[in-house]
A and B are shown apart, each in its own frame.
Chain A
Amino acid sequence: MSERKLSPARSTAQVISRVSPRRPIYRSLFYKESICAWIFITPALLGFTVFYLVPCVRAVYVSLTDWNLLRPAKFVGTANYSRLWSDPNFWNSMRVTVFYVLYNIPIQTVIGLLLAALLHRLGRSVALRSVILAPYLIANVIAAILWFWMLDPLLGFCNALLHAFGFGTIAFFSDQRLALPTIAAVNIWRHMGFVALLFYTGIQGIPQNIYEAARIEGAGPWRSFWNITLPLLRPTLVFVLVTSVIGSFQVFDSIAVTTLGGPVNSTRTIVWYIYESSFVNFRMGYASAMSCVLFVSLAVVTAAQMRMLRSNRSDLG
């Protein structure tokens, strides 16, 4: 609310700007608060309108048409949506995506919490933190190709290790049951350090005296973790869960370089299916309809998460 108050400094400035008449007009514009503000936001507003606002509206419009980019779009009403409802491939891709998210999130969160607790108690060096963050800094495509090579059935390091320990070859990416968990594992590998760092930052914000009080009351490390750290980490937990669920729902890069949706559609996630429909088969309307459904589902999932995580535990202060 303090922003609304007119400070004496501001009115002085306005007086000054009124009494200096020799300034050229274009320069005097930069002394008028609201004009200046609009000038400042113009480039960003232009970018927002052209690349966010209009496309968003256009996506909804395209989803109501039949369009292959060559002939003009034909308005078909909600035909795309009713076709989508009875498309087994769409439901399969939704199922695959949900499984991918379910593989990812719990493991990533637990590993992140464990690492954060260890970092907090034992190692706070920047070197260690940068090592653990390193996988997150490299591209999705590179992380995927690295593991594609590590897990190569013929020459890969991991299969050579498996052989050395007397196991048989595992074709991680070409086995129908293993492909999706493998891609999820690569994603966990890439994200665990980043998630751990976010939790670590959150833990550092918890006042130390609460732990000391708990220890004096006789609480062990596990109890203080469950009863102090976890509840007080809730803002970070909400952030990590919400952003990583949104992110994993949109997995694309690692599938594009490794399995291309195969084997037998076992990794054809929703975004991969949207990509195939729009940029391989040029069914722009149908793909847009799916992307709008994805948008709505994500909004619902996010809202549900926010609701559930705003649990009745009280926060600090």
Chain B
Amino acid sequence: MNTMDISLRPPSNLGRWCGYLVLALFAAVSLGPIWIAVKTALSDSRTLFSSASSFLPQDPTLFNLQRVLGLVNPADPRLAQMSYGKIDFYRALVNSVIFTLLAVIPQIACSALAAYAFARLRFTGSRLVFSLFLSATMIPSVVLFIPNFILIKDLGWLNTFQGMAAPYALMTPFAVFFLRQMFLSTPRELEECALVDGASYLSIFFRIVLPLHRSALATLTIITSLSAWNEFFWPFLVGRSEPVRVMSVAINAFRQQQAGGTPDWSGLMACTVLGIVPIAILLVLFGRKVVESFQYSGPK
């Protein structure tokens, strides 16, 4: 009896504290680099060398953030001291918002319609079309990027928002698959009652299916918005010109501009921080929802 009691006890105190220590270490490793970016963004670029190993900015200033957002008067003497190129990161952030909206909203709308059809409606070819959709998740994106680039170029859509968003706008295999799983996981009685009452499939979709799956739709919106916000390769291929380039493409461009000498680190980190801010806000406001969205995006 005695040995059983011992083994049923929670882990020893020492083991517990070691565990907490390891968890704290991982939390620090996760957030540390982000904090160093914030620190650098708030530092005067002349103090970077002397404060390289410190955790706090020397003479904190918002100048870098204002500078990359174009909020500093061009005649400002502090700008004249800097040899760095001009950065219009405000434009890039606006472009990222436009790209994200264009890629996500129609994608979810069209994918939801298709997912409802695959989950609930019987039609010839349903299985075939769905398995084709599913097999598309296996194709490495670079295989599709070359022909898609040629298509966008032939349409004359290079360096336009429609060219950047088009491949995501009508469907992604993931969105269709995810929503179909969600629609299948709820009982169909409610929809059948509505059918008896003479509702059309369209109104069942809008009045029952969509409201019933608000939570799944929110999850999908979070996942697809974040991946659109963070997307790099495709916008880099088709949207490299300044008026349309998105946040990640702009950061890459600034970095490559300065490939020679010492990069404008405080400016770059200011851009980086601005690119992270929307994600931080999302985490602070809807932490649980975001975490659970990704947590349950695994195997079903």
Contacts and interface: CB of A to CB of B under 8 A. Distances in A.
B130 to A, nearest CB: 9
Nearest to A294: B140
Interface string A111-154: 00011001101110011111111111111111001111110101
B211 interface: no
B170 A44 contact: yes
B33 interface: yes
A93 interface: no
B8 A215 contact: yes
A147 to B, nearest CB: 6
Contacts of A252: 142, 232-233
Given A56-B147, A134-B279, 16 more contacts: A12-B196, A37-B117, A44-B110, A47-B170, A52-B136, A127-B287, A133-B294, A137-B282, A139-B229, A141-B252, A142-B276, A189-B29, A189-B33, A201-B295, A216-B4, A253-B232
A157 B53 contact: yes
B290 interface: yes
B129 interface: yes
A92 interface: no
B113 A284 contact: no
A56 B268 CA distance: 37
B147 to A, nearest CB: 4
Interface of B: 3-4, 7-8, 11, 16, 19-20, 22-23, 26-27, 29-31, 33-34, 36-37, 40, 48-49, 52-53, 106, 110-111, 113-114, 116-118, 121-124, 126, 129, 132-133, 136, 138-144, 146-151, 153, 166-167, 169-171, 173, 176, 192-193, 195-196, 198, 200-203, 205, 226, 229-233, 236-237, 247-248, 251-252, 255, 262, 265, 268-269, 272, 275-276, 279, 282-283, 287-288, 290-291, 294-296, 298-299
A44 B36 contact: no
A47 B171 contact: yes
B176 A130 contact: no
Contacts of B147: 54-56, 58-59, 62, 288
B167 A51 contact: yes
Contacts of B198: 13, 16-17, 20
A-B pairs, 10 with minimum CB distance: A47-B170, A160-B53, A139-B230, A44-B114, A55-B147, A30-B200, A44-B171, A160-B52, A37-B121, A13-B195
A159 B48 CA distance: 13
A134 B283 contact: yes
Nearest to B37: A146
A146 B34 contact: yes
Interface stretch (A74-82, A101-109, A232-240): A232-240
B142 A274 contact: yes
Nearest to A46: B170
A257 interface: yes
A67 to B, nearest CB: 9
A189 B233 CA distance: 20
Interface string A268-300: 000100110011000010011001101100110
B26 A115 contact: yes
A160 B291 CA distance: 34
Contacts of A91: none
Given A7-B192, A43-B114, A189-B29, A250 B11 contact: no
Given A9-B193, A115-B26, A198-B295, A137 B201 contact: no
Interface in A2-28: 3-4, 7, 9-10, 12-13, 16-17, 20, 27
B22 A56 contact: no
A225 interface: no
Contacts of A291: 140, 142-143, 146
B27 A128 contact: yes
Contacts of B126: 37
A197 B291 contact: yes
Contacts of A189: 29-30, 33
A16 B198 CA distance: 7
A220 B49 CA distance: 51
Contacts of B153: 69
A236 B296 CA distance: 11
Given A126-B288, A142-B248, A284-B150, A9 B299 contact: no
